[in-house]
């Protein structure tokens, strides 16, 4: 009968061999010339490579994960400045005395934060913000 120490060592060796084989298999499955950056998952949502300051005139304007009124709103912001990256049509927002728009801007805080959608009704600049590209 094998000692407990021998069984533990054999188990560790088997796990190490399995892990090494699995990693080697993943490396072989990657496309030729793919580096670590190529294999990394892409960020969800529109591109955040372009940015332009946008002014939020509203107080506590909801920031949403999608340009929809029923989308999750993990934060609110305003008044103040956000970095706008692009605009996308979504749900119509009709606020008496504030305006009406179905355009939403994908934005984040200048010092960095999650990038979320804000209705253009809450931004200075009208229904569609000039100088911010479509998503």
Instruction: Say yes or no to pLDDT of 7 above 80.
Output: no
pLDDT band at 98 (very low <50, low <70, confident <90, very high): confident
Q: Which residue has the higher pLDDT, 26 or 106?
A: 106
**Cα 112 vs. chain centroid, distance in angstroms?**
12
For the chain, what is the mean pLDDT? 74
Residue 97 has pLDDT above 80, yes or no: yes
Strand partners, 119: 104
**What one-character-per-residue DSSP string does 29-82 give?**
HSPTT--HHHHSPPPSSS--S--EEEEE-SSSEEEBSSSSTTS---EEE-SEEE
pLDDT at 37: 35
8 pLDDT exceeds 80?
no
At residue 86 the predicted structure's pLDDT band, cuts being 50, 70 and 90, is very high
Indicate the pTM of the whole model: 0.64
- pLDDT tens profile 21-53: 333 332 323 334 333 333 333 344 565 578 999
The Cβ of residue 86 has, within 10 Å, a number of other Cβ atoms equal to 22
């Amino acid at each position: 009968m094998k000692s407990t120490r021998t069984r533990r060592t054999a188990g560790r060796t088997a796990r190490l061999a399995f892990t090494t084989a699995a990693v080697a298999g993943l490396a072989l499955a990657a496309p030729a010339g793919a580096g670590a950056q190529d294999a990394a998952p892409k960020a969800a949502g529109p591109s955040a490579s372009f940015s332009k300051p946008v002014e939020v005139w509203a107080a506590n304007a909801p920031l949403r994960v999608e340009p929809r009124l029923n989308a999750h709103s993990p934060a609110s912001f305003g008044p103040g400045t956000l970095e706008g990256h692009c605009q996308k049509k979504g749900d119509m927002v009709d606020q008496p005395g504030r305006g009406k728009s179905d355009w939403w801007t994908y934005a984040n805080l200048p010092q960095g934060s999650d990038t979320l959608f804000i209705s253009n009704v809450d931004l200075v600049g009208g229904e569609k913000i000039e100088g911010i590209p479509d998503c």
